[in-house]
Amino acid sequence: MDEASSAAPAPAPAREATKPEDPAKLAASLLQLIDTAPQCEPFRARLEDAGRATPDAAPSMDAMNKIVSEAYDAGCGRKSGQQ
């Protein structure tokens, strides 16, 4: 094996986190996925805070989606057909 073929491939460039153009609109749409039960309020509050951020200071879309994921893991996902 020559030196070129045994070298590890170059790592992929880091993916830049995408910031939402309208944090309030994204937060509002994601809030629909989280139950309104009292135990779910901390997740809703985090999303509401993220939605109030200015676009340049807003958390990334990945960070906002992670809040929803954490809510689902905690049993706070809104059930199908729930208003």
pLDDT of residue 22: 87
pTM score:
0.73
Nearest to 31 by CA among 16, 54, 52, 56: 52
Residue 33 in tokens: 């996925």
Q: Where are the domains of the chain?
A: 19-73
Task: Give tens-digit pLDDT for 51-72.
Answer: 998 888 888 899 999 999 999 9
Does residue 19 or residue 74 have the better pLDDT?
Answer: 74
Distance CA 24, CA 49 (A): 9
* 24 and 63 Cβ atoms separated by less than 8 Å: no
Three-state DSSP at 77 gives strand
Task: Give tens-digit pLDDT for 12-46.
Answer: 555 556 777 889 999 999 999 999 999 999 999 99
pLDDT of residue 8: 65
Would you give the DSSP letter of residue 34? B
